Amino acid sequence: MLEIKKLQKSFNLDRDSELIVFDQLNLNIEANTTTAIIGPNGCGKTTLLNLISGNIKADKGNIMLNGVDITNEAEEKRASQISRVHQDPSKSVSLNLTVLENLALADKKGEKFNLNKLIQKQNKDKYIEILKSFNIGLENKINEKVKFLSGGQRQSLSLIMACMKNPKLLLLDEHTAALDPKASALVLEKTKELIQKNRITTLMVSHNIRDALSYSDRIIMLDGGKIVFDRPSASVKESEIFDIYKEKLKEKFAS
Ligand SMILES: Nc1ncnc2c1ncn2[C@@H]1O[C@H](COP(=O)(O)OP(=O)(O)OP(=O)(O)O)[C@@H](O)[C@H]1O
Ligand SMILES: [Mg+2]
């Protein structure tokens, strides 16, 4: 479904501060699966999502989505198939618009529109139903500006918006990291529900190993721009992952 071939990405090319983040990275993702991506700070998880979404361009290599080469496609074009939720609960929504306006915008992603015309009665009813299904009372805040929502409410809204147009690929970058344990658990459960219902292929970056294992089919660890661990999540114990982190830490201090 997603094929990454010999992907190369460096920052600050030809300068002293040159940093090679990926050198010949290969990765194949099967359709309708959720893959957790873990790895230490700075190992390239967000950069990988940025490359896939088109937020930054690859130096070399190819990114194929359902057999189509999207390596050089603009981010806006890819957005019709690829949705993203960021770690920061402010980043995936428009803070000065209401819940209703944000939903209407997500509903018309990639189309020309007039926001007022968009918010028609039948759409509003549809949005209220979706919000109700989240069970956190967001339907009562439909005319509230998003800047007045809590982090958990904003991430729930971001997730609904990201899944609204049935993307082929959903990119979650530590999307529950800023939430308290209860809100995080709720957003993760809702994520699972939406992914399963709409059969969305998902990449989920997380530093929470337990969540990464519980909510994925496959777990991948990146380190030094390479995949250093790649297994079906059901076959992995949390302690195995912690042991790898410990080993990496030892290597780092030894060098
Ligand atoms: N636009 C950029 N310009 C220069 N360097 C960058 C840029 N974006 C990322 N980097 C560097 O690339 C490396 C990978 O960063 P990235 O944000 O992908 O890490 P990450 O795995 O998401 O880390 P974290 O777990 O802390 O979110 C880091 O060393 C970072 O400083
Ligand atoms: Mg990151």
Per-residue pLDDT of the chain (255 residues; tens, 9 = 90+): 999 999 999 998 777 778 899 999 999 999 999 999 999 988 999 999 999 999 999 999 999 999 999 999 999 899 889 999 988 888 889 999 999 999 988 888 766 666 666 667 678 888 999 899 888 889 999 999 999 998 888 888 998 999 988 899 999 999 998 888 888 898 899 899 999 999 999 999 999 999 999 999 999 999 988 999 999 999 999 999 999 888 887 887 776
Give the pLDDT confidence score for residue 112 in this predicted structure.
Answer: 63
Containing domain of residue 17, as a range? Answer: 2-254
Mutate to test the pocket of ligand 1, among 8, 11, 227 (most ligand atoms within 8 A of CB): 11
**Residue whose pair of structure tokens reads 């018309």 in the numeric block:** 108
Give the pLDDT confidence score for residue 102 in this predicted structure.
Answer: 92
Whole-prediction pTM:
0.91
Give the pLDDT confidence score for residue 12 in this predicted structure.
Answer: 81
230: CA distance to ligand 2 center in Å? Answer: 19
Instruction: Return the residue whose CA atom lies nearest to atom 28 of ligand 1.
Output: 42
Give the pLDDT confidence score for residue 119 in this predicted structure.
Answer: 67
Instruction: Return the residue whose CA atom lies nearest to atom 2 of ligand 1.
Output: 11
225 ligand 1 Cβ < 6 A: no
| Domain count across the chain | 1
CATH number at residue 68: 3.40.50.300
Quick check: 17 and 214 in contact, CB under 8 A? Answer: no
